[in-house]
Amino acid sequence: MSRMYRANISIENQNPGRETAIAEVLMDVWGFADVVASRHGLEAEAEVSLGGGVREEEFARALTRRVWAINQGFCKVSVNMTYLEELPSEAYVFSSQHEYDAWLKTSGESRL
């Protein structure tokens, strides 16, 4: 069973000249669509599916270790995981003719 997440990654203080290699591995291995360079480093976001019993922390550690390997040294890696399948949500249903009629009177809209 897979679980869908939004993964946001921020990489700081990577070795100069390693940005392209890091971006390529993020896109090729984990499906990050855009890796953006900022003055602080690299940032990226992707929707990922964690399957096979992989936990969020395991995913984040594997990604970080791969970045370190490609970077050929330490850099700060921050991974923020948002579980997408049970997000808080609010449903709003407007099914009252009375509410519509009251709005119509005050809105200045005409009936169609």
| pLDDT confidence of residue 111 | 62
Question: What letter would DSSP give residue 109?
Answer: -
Amino acid at residue number 23: A
Amino acid at residue number 74: F
Contact 22, 15 (CB under 8 A): no
pLDDT digit string, tens, across residues 20-70? 999 999 999 888 988 999 888 999 999 999 988 899 999 999 999 999 999
Contact 39, 19 (CB under 8 A): no
